[in-house]
């Protein structure tokens, strides 16, 4: 029963994380003069415009995942390479900002207000999942494997030939992603922390320490 209740927190947090992540890509690309996000309906808070079924399933179950890529047309950009990198970075950055916001609320309610009631307990648990899921989504999408954001950021700094060769593997990216997620879960099942776990925990601890230092 407790496991089911956890999903009452996880699902809305996952939806918020995905929507803001993809909307950030769309808004930044549109701000750079590209009308494609607006024409394809991605300047929207409607989750159905952004959700990738497999990516959402991975995010809900494993706390790492992805969404439907935002279509962009870099020919509208004044500085294509730089702006592609910035558009790609916008998604993970938005998740880190959300993680910081949830970290602030967590420390505020758990360490400053300190009210002992069920509502505060719900808020605190909501914030914990907000920190975890947004940190995981932001970091996971920075992995330089197509079609994740990290691959587009990396490709922006490669030569034309190297970039073309690198992006040829985009069609196989989904298999790599699923393989990575499954490997992470196998390591977790065996009680063996992965590098990804260490990085996520480091960012989460840094987030909490930051707000504890500021607020307490």
For 50-78, how does the pLDDT look when each residue is reduced to its tens digit (9 = 90+)?
888 877 777 667 666 667 889 999 999 99
Whether the CB-CB separation of 202 and 82 falls below 8 Å is answered with no
Burial class (CB in 10 A: 0-12, 13-18, 19+), 133: buried
User: What are the catalytic residues?
Assistant: 22
For 114-143, how does the pLDDT look when each residue is reduced to its tens digit (9 = 90+)?
777 888 889 999 999 999 999 998 998 999
Q: What are phi and psi of 24, to 5 degrees?
A: -65, -45
CA 49 to chain centre: 16
- Residue identified by tokens 């690309």 is 29
Whether the CB-CB separation of 88 and 153 falls below 8 Å is answered with yes
pTM: 0.89
Q: What is the average pLDDT value for the chain, to the nearest integer?
A: 87
Quickly state the pLDDT bin for 37 (edges 50, 70, 90).
Answer: very high
């Amino acid at each position: 029963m407790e496991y089911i209740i956890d999903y009452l927190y996880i699902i809305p947090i996952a939806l918020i994380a995905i929507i803001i992540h993809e909307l950030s890509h769309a808004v930044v690309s549109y701000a750079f003069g590209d009308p494609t996000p607006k024409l394809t309906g991605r300047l929207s808070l409607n989750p159905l415009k952004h959700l990738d079924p497999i990516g959402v399933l991975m995010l809900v179950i494993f706390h790492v995942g992805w969404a439907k890529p935002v279509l962009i047309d870099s020919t509208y950009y004044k500085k294509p390479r730089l702006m592609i990198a910035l558009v790609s970075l916008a998604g993970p950055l938005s998740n880190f900002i959300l993680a910081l916001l949830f970290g602030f609320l967590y420390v505020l309610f758990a360490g400053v207000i300190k009210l002992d009631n069920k509502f505060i307990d719900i808020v605190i648990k909501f914030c914990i999942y907000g920190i975890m899921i947004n940190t995981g989504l932001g970091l996971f999408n920075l992995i330089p494997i197509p079609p994740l954001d990290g691959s587009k950021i990396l490709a922006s700094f490669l030569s034309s030939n190297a970039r073309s060769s690198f992006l040829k593997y985009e069609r196989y990216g989904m298999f790599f992603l699923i393989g990575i997620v499954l490997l992470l879960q196998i390591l977790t099942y065996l009680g063996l922390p992965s590098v990804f776990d260490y990085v996520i925990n480091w960012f989460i601890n840094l987030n909490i320490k930051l707000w504890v230092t500021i607020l307490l």
